[in-house]
Amino acid sequence: MPTPVAIDPDDTGDLAVDVGRRLSLARRALGLQQQEFAARAGLSQPQYSQFETGKRRLTIEAAIKLCHAYSLTLDYLYLGDPSGLPHRLLVAIKKIRSETY
């Protein structure tokens, strides 16, 4: 079976780390600290922190809560495909990426 082409050029191949980086980008683009970002999605800050740092894989249940709270998509979180994100959020994420990488 052929290896899938990475959508996100910054992907490392470690799903937990890659998802965590995208979570961090989205959170920072929204101008929120971990505590507030987690709380608005119904997650605890310690639990969310483990997802964002890549120490624990993002569960589908937590991902769905984050998608509902922030108009994120599963395609963005898990695959790095930003095409379904709201334009304003996408622009903010791109700005942070250009400043960081």
Q: What is the pLDDT of residues 31-90, one digit of tens each?
A: 999 999 999 999 999 999 999 999 999 999 999 999 999 999 999 999 999 999 999 999
Where are the domains positioned within the chain?
Answer: 15-100
Give the Cα separation of 97 and 92 in Å (integer): 9
62-71: burial string, b at 16+ Cβ within 10 Å, e else: bbebbbebbe
Residue from 37, 34, 30, 21 nearest 101 by CA: 21
For the entire predicted model, the pTM comes to: 0.91
Q: Which fold has domain 15-100?
A: 434 Repressor (Amino-terminal Domain) (1.10.260)
